[in-house]
A and B are shown apart, each in its own frame.
Chain A
């Protein structure tokens, strides 16, 4: 328990329903269901560093969710219905400036709470307005130790200041009604009488308890005149009664029953004494003793009653002491009689129904308010199996059953263990049910049987000795085996059940009924792998013989389930029968039913990850059963991955590495260091110890970084095999029983020392393969002007020192800009289709191809995409131009002069020339222009050839293609290559490209190369066309060819590949958060390659062809700053324009529902 609650002891309070107690410690609140104390407490973390001086549960049923606790000068108001990150509704602070010593809820008004502190102030808070105190009082004399509200007068409260007690009327303000100088030493506790309105009890370090008459009934308070003046401190000079004790008194509190009080020693003694006013205060009427250590706090559990109306007369004294053990003492009528308590006739409480439902709900089971966010399932396993949605019923069935169980007059205060198997709720995960259950499991039996000096049996009431439910010493456990009365077997049985549940996964088991005393039956539900294809929920009945733990075998029966086959049932029955005769039959049977492999208690102590890695197939399972069971037993899972790395967008590598010890020293937060503290673990001897030992050693090596041990290599291999084959049975390999081994390891902290790193590898990725986010963000992506694209982007690349990109852009610029450039100089309007002549140029094509192939081999996504958009764009322009030209040609066909055919016979340039006679001749400024037909195409690319030397080499007919071509085209004259052709100003840039140089050196005959190129690159159809063109006789036929498919410079499948590049890169841009660029890039995708949702045509796109920036589709202004780009229709809008229209169809009118990223899940 001390492990659980922390170092300090804290304080305790009980709920108004008497169902739960709260223990407040530095760590937070622990809520314990008294009907089911072995259940894992609900833990509400506080994370404070201050010890808790006082905690009090609101005593009003209507406000039973509120608890106040202190944390130094702050007071914390907890709302137990509040889930989420914290249950602290409000810290009540900024009033006290020193530590708070006491808090007290108002006994009449449920929303008021008083606090007092060392700063001598007393504040009254209204939790409806917790920002500041509702009233403040201070005597300015000494620090306040206690504050208590009267039970009878809503305005009256008393406080203790060192040796004085002051009584205040909260209406009166700064002056106390009067002051009692009560004791000679510090007053530790005050308590108003519950029976007489004007009596107050004080207890002090001077070992006395005094009762004072404060002389003011609630009636007389109305009249201030009847009061003594505040100055008269000694007005009440003598107490009504005095009780002398042997010890300094820490607390003396009026009883909730009868007429008396209970004293609690501050030190020295470990007894609680009951005093009666009627019997006189000469000596206590009853002594509760047997406590091993000083009791810190006690509460009365008035079970079945509210705090004000007591009826059935059953009480429990619950104590919380320095030994951090919660103890219960039943108080029966033999004791209550002594203080003059007479159980009232069983009056029906007026609010019977309401009360009853309240009392039967533990705060732990109170349904969470529906307004809260996360769905909290009561039992995840159940939900999974039956798809049951929980939390509608206000009282979960099992808790109701448990409370019923607990309310049966339990013999000798044995608490019901009925519900130990409650699965840990989601909100209670902070604690480990295993730990808690183990603490419970170690519970000793009736200690009256023990004879040692430590036996704390109660003198006066043997039947009601304090029953500690928590840890006890080993030797006492031994003694229990000698007791064979029925209660003992019941306790043993309960222990075994709890232990078995702790050993298997308790959350998989749902107890529906448990009686260890009378019926000795346990009914539970669990989920096991017994169906044909899925897990099934089974009900299982355990029936225990009367002398079970000592004698006899339990009987296990499973409810017949329709989905469990007959064969499987027989198999189960056989194995259950086998297991029920084993040493720990309950655990063995549960394991079998849950589909867990048999394992010793050894593995139960391991953390889950390691436990799973050591899962041991049951040899008896392996024989003669269906595949299904084999599969189930090979539940190996990828555990213990030491390190991992996963790529994220933008070249970030997410790595998981174990934290090295050295590295941990400085940077690890304190919490890490605490968790890394060595924790001794004892492993009982078992066949698996050897393998485990290795694993542990290995882990330790990993954690500390001492891999250099001589045997570490071997260990490593061993462990890796362990890890790899979770199914490997160490029991086979190491069947010799290893001796009991105790190892002190700090290994289990190793997993927690795993850390996640984000490693930015973007630079590295770029270095070799070109991805550059900055370039991506800055590149111009404007369709319709490929040349402009190159011209603009080259300097951008240069700016970011990406010279490789710059070279590519410049090369591209040269390739496609060649024929345009001179025209611009002549201030003639460039026609888009004219630049398309690049396609006939063998060198430029080769250049492009080489660039492309190089990017492919480097897998340079960015460059590939850039090349792709340039090519796609040119392709598109060409198509548009040729379509347009074809239309014009249709109309202008008749006007074509015969002379045209002479010079326009070439396939590629025929259309332009036909349509614009004035301009087309000027394209060529070479003297060769008027030479033979077929020369046209040669001329246009002549500048590329042999120009570095200026001396054309003779035509080289080295390739068969060339020769074939030459043959076919009827012997093109090689002498067309005249050196007098247009100069090439930008030609020097070619020198950057080795590939082009290569071509230059080998290229000889322009015509021949040109032809061969077309053949190599283009498909057969093109070649055929070319041949036709070459002869150039039939214009009509030529035209047909062209309109059929000839316009495209690129092969279809190649276009598709380019589109794929663009898409892949676009996806990358999207992941980088460059939505605008993403959209802009996708506009290069030809319409026939668009995916269904990219339906809009080029004119509808947000990008204007004129301006570089995208235009908002709402206000039509260029987009700058925050913008929203729709992933479906690619429209861009200012964020502020788009925002109000969110949820409406796209503002561009394209009909798209642009809120693609809204919560609605769409599948496209």
Chain B
């Protein structure tokens, strides 16, 4: 297990003319979207792990495209992209063609990260920009859309990641008077929470929550621990347990895993042992959780990707390492 290797590895020829910055499989893993410095986005169909067709090319950005994100299919085949030109575009597949249906240009500098909220919360997109602000776009059924934009990290935001929509243990008090069936306990469905984490150039990770009463985003918590820019943040998917996990990657060559055992508990941090005095050999650019929330993929600047898993004693260990 320590040097687990993939069952299969398929190389995809994207025909991008420049660096590729992000690639994302859609909700069902049937499509792959890649984006590049050549200002284009490409979408490929993936059948049985193999890309089919030459893909569609989505053009429109006027700068390198940093990230793409797929929306939940219940909203349609929708892709969000953000780029150096300060724009966030929402693309939709209509018929055989991709069309740009929305354009978000409130940011005044490069938008570095874009992320769709869990679908239970509706069509929400969070964006992080170098202008120091975060924005949340909400798309409504009638085609209207709104944007909340607020300062996140004064000197630049690098990444956003949504919390799972439903956090068990986040609700202690059952709603009174709710039962409709006799003999049934007064339990309401778990409430959904709009919450996300952002990573910034101020070495901080901040957690933002939406207050329904004031209809505004509030800074809930600040996680201090990194000594340099935080490059990426990833909130682990929840499998129904009360404990929450957040992984953060930083310029200081460390990866921290933050855990919170109960809604009111404090975040505890654990550093992954990168093998280099506790640090990774290079800047860590990206962290990504597997769907089941048990494996963490860490992409380091030295070109290696490592997979990490928490063992039964609660210690994170590297289970796989991949090179180009």
| Distance between B217 CB and nearest chain A CB, rounded to angstroms | 17
Contact A751 B1 (CB under 8 A): no
User: Taking A641-B21, A642-B303 as contacts, is the C-beta distance between A608 and B238 under 8 angstroms?
Assistant: no
User: Taking A646-B24, A724-B251, A1161-B123 as contacts, is the C-beta distance between A1064 and B75 under 8 angstroms?
Assistant: no
B201-216 vs A: 1/0 string, CB under 8 Å? 1000000000000000
Contact A1073 B37 (CB under 8 A): no
| Distance between B204 CB and nearest chain A CB, rounded to angstroms | 16
Number of A-B residue pairs, CB cutoff 8 Å, is: 386
List residues of chain B with CB within 8 A of the CB of A1160.
76, 141
List residues of chain B with CB within 8 A of the CB of A377.
60
Instruction: Please report the C-alpha to C-alpha distance between residue A669 and residue B15 in the assembled complex, in whole angstroms.
Output: 10
User: Is B41 an interface position by the 8 A CB rule?
Assistant: no
| Distance between B322 CB and nearest chain A CB, rounded to angstroms | 7
Identify which of B105, B190, B301 contacts A384 (C-beta below 8 A).
B105
User: Taking A636-B156, A758-B46 as contacts, is the C-beta distance between A1058 and B240 under 8 angstroms?
Assistant: yes
Instruction: Please report the C-alpha to C-alpha distance between residue A1055 and residue B10 in the assembled complex, in whole angstroms.
Output: 42
Contact B64 A639 (CB under 8 A): yes
Interface residues of A in 1055-1090 (CB under 8 A from B): 1055-1065, 1068, 1070-1073, 1087-1090
Instruction: Please report the C-alpha to C-alpha distance between residue A375 and residue B119 in the assembled complex, in whole angstroms.
Output: 28
Contact A761 B7 (CB under 8 A): yes
Instruction: Please report the C-alpha to C-alpha distance between residue A642 and residue B108 in the assembled complex, in whole angstroms.
Output: 27
User: Is A680 an interface position by the 8 A CB rule?
Assistant: no
List residues of chain B with CB within 8 A of the CB of A892.
none
Contact B25 A654 (CB under 8 A): yes
List residues of chain B with CB within 8 A of the CB of A757.
9-12
Contact A1159 B94 (CB under 8 A): yes
Contact B74 A882 (CB under 8 A): no
User: Is B265 an interface position by the 8 A CB rule?
Assistant: no
User: Is B256 an interface position by the 8 A CB rule?
Assistant: no
Contact B299 A641 (CB under 8 A): yes
User: Is A732 an interface position by the 8 A CB rule?
Assistant: no
User: Is B152 an interface position by the 8 A CB rule?
Assistant: no
| Distance between A894 CB and nearest chain B CB, rounded to angstroms | 22
User: Is A857 an interface position by the 8 A CB rule?
Assistant: yes
Instruction: Please report the C-alpha to C-alpha distance between residue A612 and residue B15 in the assembled complex, in whole angstroms.
Output: 22
Contact B100 A643 (CB under 8 A): no
Contact A768 B1 (CB under 8 A): yes
Contact A752 B28 (CB under 8 A): no
User: Taking A644-B285, A1089-B189 as contacts, is the C-beta distance between A373 and B130 under 8 angstroms?
Assistant: no
Interface residues of A in 593-652 (CB under 8 A from B): 607-609, 612, 627, 630-632, 634-652
List residues of chain A with CB within 8 A of the CB of B19.
609, 639-640, 751-752, 754
Instruction: Please report the C-alpha to C-alpha distance between residue A654 and residue B34 in the assembled complex, in whole angstroms.
Output: 10
- Interface locus among B218-226, B270-278, B287-295: B287-295
List residues of chain A with CB within 8 A of the CB of B62.
380-381, 505, 507
Task: Kindly state the interface size class of chain A when it binds its partner.
Answer: 35 or more
User: Taking A758-B10, A886-B183 as contacts, is the C-beta distance between A637 and B84 under 8 angstroms?
Assistant: yes
Task: Kindly state the interface size class of chain B when it binds its partner.
Answer: 35 or more
Contact A426 B60 (CB under 8 A): yes
User: Is A1120 an interface position by the 8 A CB rule?
Assistant: no
User: Is B110 an interface position by the 8 A CB rule?
Assistant: yes
Contact B322 A646 (CB under 8 A): no
- Nearest first, the 10 closest Cβ-Cβ pairs linking A and B are A648-B25, A1163-B122, A1060-B240, A1061-B240, A751-B19, A657-B324, A759-B6, A373-B97, A649-B29, A764-B4
Q: Which residues of B contact A (CB under 8 A)?
A: 1, 4-25, 27-30, 32, 34, 37, 39, 46, 49, 51, 59-60, 62-64, 66, 73-76, 78, 84-87, 92, 94, 97-100, 103, 105-106, 108-110, 112, 119-120, 122-123, 130-132, 138-141, 143, 154-156, 158, 166, 168-169, 171-172, 174, 178-190, 201, 228-229, 231, 237-242, 251, 282-283, 285-286, 288-295, 297-305, 307, 309-310, 312, 319-320, 322-324
Q: List 6 A-B contacts (CB under 8 A).
A: A631-B131, A643-B305, A751-B37, A756-B11, A1088-B188, A1161-B76
Give 18 A-B pairs besides A635-B110, A759-B6 with Cβ atoms closer than 8 angstroms: A380-B62, A505-B62, A632-B109, A635-B130, A637-B66, A649-B27, A649-B291, A651-B290, A754-B16, A756-B34, A764-B4, A769-B294, A879-B183, A1052-B187, A1062-B240, A1064-B238, A1064-B239, A1089-B190
Q: Which residues of A contact B (CB under 8 A)?
A: 373-375, 377, 380-381, 383-385, 426, 429, 505, 507, 529, 531, 533-535, 607-609, 612, 627, 630-632, 634-660, 663, 667, 669, 671, 675, 702, 716, 720, 723-724, 751-752, 754-765, 767-769, 771, 856-859, 861, 864, 868, 879, 882-883, 886, 1043, 1045, 1047-1048, 1052-1053, 1055-1065, 1068, 1070-1073, 1087-1092, 1127, 1156-1164
